[in-house]
Amino acid sequence: MANEFMSVDEIMKDDTLRDYFSMQPKKVDPNSAAFSYYCRTLFRKAMSIYEFDGIPEGWDLDYMLSKLLARGFITITDTEVGVIPLECGVSGINVFNHPTTVIVANPVLGNFSRTIGEDCALVKISYDYRGILDTIYRYAYMLAECDCSISVNLMNSKVAFIGLVEGKQQANSMKAMYDMISRGEPAVFVKGAQINQDTILYNHVKENFVASDIQLLKRKIMSEFLTEIGVNNANTDKRERLTDNEVEANDSEIQLNAGYWLDNIREGFEVANQLYGLNLSIDLKNTFNTEGAFDNVNANSVI
């Protein structure tokens, strides 16, 4: 019912990217170090925006949150080592098409099942029991492509001209000329027939340098990702003389994204609190002021 939490190697083999980029050229391969880097970076950012309260001693918070965000759900249940959060699968179906049972396959605790709401709580982040890996993949792909474009543009900016030659001898002469110029020779003399206006094609390096523009695009992509996961961030593309309403236009969007996930998690926590006498709670770090608007969360707090 839900996607599994994947290692970096498994992420590289996943086909989720192609669901988003159906026109993706065959020669474009997301299996790259840049894609892996951004997958880890974005997932870490998503994990870092939450704060918990009432977590019992001995719970592994990184385990619980990473499984919850990646898989989309976890269970909280009583085991031989106490009440703990565990990775699980789901089965069964009720009249509202929701699962009725969780299935745990743990290397230490073994295999067992529980009934949701009776002897376990199911904590999910979305109605469809899916995690955020599809979002991570989408933005990791775009950011990795930006890095690739920047690298190519930086490499191309090193080429100032291309010499057209008719043979090896002429090529060697032009190479020697270039070496002398590179060494700082004050004057270089070559045979007139060897070089003329038609034998050199000039690459307009400055006009073709777009790496700085792509770097700005990366910032916009990252800002869009932060908005999706519920982080208030500065829009670097703001025009002059914006009204207050325009500047704060994305506040509602941010609250919708963050609020929906939080409501679902809190619902699952409430079941666990009632079943096991816990006091679990979750919120975004420095999120809401008394009027319900975002206060201190910004892009810098999760970078």
Q: Where are the domains of the chain?
A: 8-134+251-302, 161-202
Mean pLDDT of 281-301: 53
Distance separating alpha carbons of residues 214 and 209, to the nearest angstrom? 10
For residues 63 and 136, what is the distance between their CA atoms, to the nearest angstrom?
Answer: 18
The three-class DSSP label of residue 170 is helix
CATH topology (fold) of 8-134+251-302: Upper collar protein gp10 (connector protein) fold (2.40.500)
Q: pLDDT-derived band of residue 211, with 50, 70 and 90 as boundaries?
A: confident
| Per-residue model confidence (pLDDT) at position 250 | 62
Lowest mean pLDDT among 162-176, 202-216, 241-255: 241-255
H or E segment to which residue 44 belongs: helix 33-48
| Chain-centroid distance, C-alpha 254 | 17
3-class DSSP state of 208: helix
Answer yes or no: are the C-beta atoms of 286 and 294 closer than 8 Å.
Answer: no
- Mean pLDDT over 285-290 rounds to 50
Confidence of residue 246 (pLDDT cuts 50, 70, 90): low
pTM here is 0.73
Nearest to 32 by CA among 144, 138, 146: 144
Closest listed residue to residue 132, CA positions, set 70, 189, 85: 70
Reported as a single tens digit per residue, the pLDDT across 33-68 is 889 999 999 999 999 999 999 999 999 999 999 999
Q: Is 159 within 8 Å of 203 (Cβ atoms)?
A: yes
Range in 6-10, 162-166, 268-272 with the lowest mean pLDDT: 6-10
Determine contact, residues 180/188, Cβ cutoff 8 Å. yes
